[in-house]
Amino acid sequence: MSKLIAFAAIQGGYQVVSTVEGELNKALETHNADTKIEFPNTSYYLPVIYSLTGMKVETLEDLIKPMEFARGLLPPHIKGSHHLPYLGPLLDAGMAAIFAYEIKEALRILNDPDFYIPQEDPDLEAGKLWVGPADDVILRKRGVEFVDGTAPGFAAMVGAAPDPEIAKMIVEEYQKRSLYIFCAANHNGKTLVEQCIEAGMQVGWSTRIVPFGPDISSAVFALGFANRAAMSFGGVQPGDYKKILLYNKNRIFAFINALGDVGTEWACAAAGAVNWGFPTLADTDIPEILPTGICTYEHVVANVPYEEMVNRSVEVRGLKVTVSEIDIPCAFGPAFEGERVRGDDLYCQTGGGKTQCTELCKMAEMKEIEDGKIEVIGPDIPDMKEGDRFYLGIYVQVAGREFQTDFEPILERQIHHLINYIQYVMHIGQRDISWVRISKAAVEKGFTLRDIGVVLHAKFHQDFTKILDKVQVTLYTNKEDVDKLTERARAEYKHRDERVEKMTDEDVDTFYSCTLCQSFAPNHVCTVSPERTGLCGAYNWMDCKASYEINPTGPNQPIKVGECLDPNLGQWKGDKEIEE
Ligand code: SF4
């Protein structure tokens, strides 16, 4: 990790702790030691301090202990030749700063009780923009959304965009993904929330754009909210810091967008957030912390262009896209899988030996494809007439941090049943021998080839959320495009098959069972080994292995083959036991 960023964060930690110590001493000189200290209407005291240490701050003098605790967390300064990795000290410095920021905010409320308007939405007419820490009523109402998945997490945005249009673009994209946008801090006096208002947006908890406060210390309200959710909904006990932080890392998909110059005060706040597993993405050229460790992937990513900020943040935090609706004009579901499109009902068709119909699924780089992009290149159903036979190439590109090329055939094979799930549409075969028949009823309902892309995008996200982040579908209907895709696909199929063809049963110690077609044949189980595919010929050993990795409780289960009983017949002890 960069010495520079460790230096900045540790330096920032010292600076923030010293400043707040000064503010606390001043408060102790001007107020009685038993003066009440609180965030409004909450039973979680100062929530970050309470949740992580169990300390209950109720009076001014109660602040002394957590302040000392923060000072105690500060690591030694970075010296000239420091060979230790910096992450541990950096995390401590960040946590010290977060504690100090929470004390600072408590002192602000003591000294200026009307600074925040403790309600869901600001009162702009009264000049009250900043809502401060959420009270317990808001926590109960909004926190449950983080638990049931209605809100997968939040974007803590500090600073300001270059102009209101960019602010609006970023914030709206987060809103579309159902994320909350927690705003704090200013950049050269400008704040993101004010830019949103200028761009005509409504702000407040009700629109998920929460104006916490104008300073970097107000960002602590976002962390306090997350920790209260862990205690309130996750049942984690105050003081159990490890569980609280892990709960947040695993369940609250949050991250920080730093818009503007990252000084030492922002750097230590970002370092503090890493303790929660929340990474920071900045629009400026700051030193990065890329290796994984605490956060799911990178910790600090710099120089992110504004148009990529949302996608990059979501990707780095490992937030999965959920597609709940399949927006096509026909009904959709397993109930339609066995439906046939007979001669009289047929409107048009592709494949089946008369024209070419090819399917290919390929892995792509994250930057290469756009999630949800569906294109039909060539004529679509409205351009065809009854009885037409057309060419079709279905090209699905998928990208994901956890995706491997071994998974490509597994996803490709889903195309068969997913198209069959569409009412009034029938699919037979796979690879370059597919056959799709579309009925008059489907066309009457407004079905187009694009809907195949909609289905594949949605279902791949729903069924393979663990391994993929982006799905782009292109449907070719011009003969020359389909021929080109088919040529490429055949090379891919050959390559995939050859990988297994070179293997023998003796090369592995695990075969796989397959029960994929038990909906048709309830008593049927295949054993798939490197030298023997399943009965259908569609599933080889490599496919079963990949399928098991994607879905460990799915239709392909490992069989430890054990001792060879008959080398001529290829019978193995483990396999026999499964059969029996
Ligand atoms: S391998 Fe066997 S169980 Fe699996 S789909 Fe093919 S025929 Fe069915």
Each residue of 329-340: pLDDT tens digit? Answer: 998 887 788 788
Give the bridge partners for 258, in sequence order.
158, 282
pLDDT at 2: 63
The string of pLDDT tens digits covering residues 563-577 is 888 888 888 888 888
Edge-first strand order for the sheet with 510-514 is 526-528, 510-514, 556-560
Lowest-confidence region among 85-94, 201-210, 440-449, 452-461: 85-94
Residue 536 Cβ contacting ligand 1 at under 6 Å: yes
Residue 526 Cβ contacting ligand 1 at under 6 Å: yes
Q: Looking at the CA of residue 533, tell me the nearest atom of ligand 1.
A: 1
Does residue 8 carry a pLDDT above 90? no
Answer whether 300's CB lies under 8 Å from 270's CB.
Answer: yes
Tokens of 71: 């000072």
pTM over 0.75: no
Does residue 355 carry a pLDDT above 70? yes
Strands 389-390 and 510-514: unpaired
The string of pLDDT tens digits covering residues 21-67 is 999 999 999 999 999 999 999 999 999 999 999 999 999 999 999 99
Report which of 389, 474, 396 is spatially closest to residue 437, judged by C-alpha positions: 389
Q: Looking at the CA of residue 534, tell me the nearest atom of ligand 1.
A: 1
For the chain, domains (ranges, CATH) are: 3-317 (3.40.50.2030), 334-501 (3.30.1650.10), 505-579 (3.40.970.20)
Residue 539 Cβ contacting ligand 1 at under 6 Å: yes
Residue 535 Cβ contacting ligand 1 at under 6 Å: yes
The string of pLDDT tens digits covering residues 178-221 is 899 999 999 999 999 999 999 999 899 988 999 999 999 999 99
Task: Return the residue matching tokens 């707040």.
Answer: 20
Name the DSSP class of 462: H
Average pLDDT over residues 138-147: 86
Does residue 85 carry a pLDDT above 90? no
Residue 538 Cβ contacting ligand 1 at under 6 Å: yes
Cα(first)–Cα(last) distance of the chain, in Å? 56
pLDDT confidence tier of residue 152, bands split at 50, 70 and 90: confident
Residue 534 Cβ contacting ligand 1 at under 6 Å: yes
Average pLDDT over residues 86-113: 94
Surface-to-core class of residue 46, CB atoms within 10 Å of its CB (0-12 exposed, 13-18 middle, 19+ buried): buried
Average pLDDT over residues 286-315: 85
Tell me which of 417, 516, 533 to substitute to probe ligand 1's pocket, judged by most ligand atoms within 8 Å of the beta carbon: 516
